[in-house]
Amino acid sequence: MQNIQIIILAAGKATRMGGIAKALAQLKNKPFLKHILDTIDHLHLNTKTIIVVGHKQEEIKEVLGNNYIYAEQKEQLGTGHAVLSAKNAVDPKDKIILVLSADQPLISKNTLENIIGRHIQKSPMITLGTVIVPNFDDYRIGMNHFGRIIRDEKNLVKKIVEFKDANEEERQIKEVNPAIYAFDSKWLWENIHKIKNDNVKGEYYLTDLIKICCEQKQKIEAIPVSNIIEGLQPNTKEELETLEKLTE
């Protein structure tokens, strides 16, 4: 097995959940981040997970303890900037970097194994998890604001367009981005500085690496998650209540 390093992005705040660290929002009386870390434990990787912290980082460290490596994102400048904040904590021997978000409490061992397995088998620069929804009704309504997976005429991933930057036609696409990525480590660090922040929010989006990869004519693999609900990332107390009901 190739050396794999997992980075979890946990620097954000849950503004619509009372301003707590989103990573510490509770599902089934357990913090989101703890759900993910418990799932990662079942992968039996020989590395300590890196957690990118920022907002209320002391609380996160207090809850999780010293079994992890913490990297600080000093400013909230987007997901690309968050991953870059973890670079110095990554062992140069690690060949694969798996990037997750702390607000994905239902991500499964099966999905993570599928993404890692595909990445090892096909050796692309990026392997990403996707969610394919029948529509954006019911519990899937929150996914309507996810980035859209844009494919070319050969059905290969061409780019990801963030919802805020998408046109009406792109917003009709039912394959969305839940922000689960495996990167070739060498390629990631060589290219992450190329991300620009010329978008509506003025942030450095990790998703721009998809476009960069395509422009370089490098290979990208995409694999749907095992279950749609794994992609749910609740932003409000109402969405969290929905998640609680779905997992009863």
Catalytic sites, residue numbers: 16
At 97, which helix (H) or strand (E)? strand 96-101
Return the sign of the alpha-carbon dihedral for residues 7, 12, 16, 19: positive
At 109, which helix (H) or strand (E)? helix 109-122
Q: How far is CA 222 from CA 18, 122, 130, in A?
A: 35, 11, 7
CA distance 186 to 179: 20
CB atoms within 10 A of CB 46: 7
CA distance 227 to 101: 17
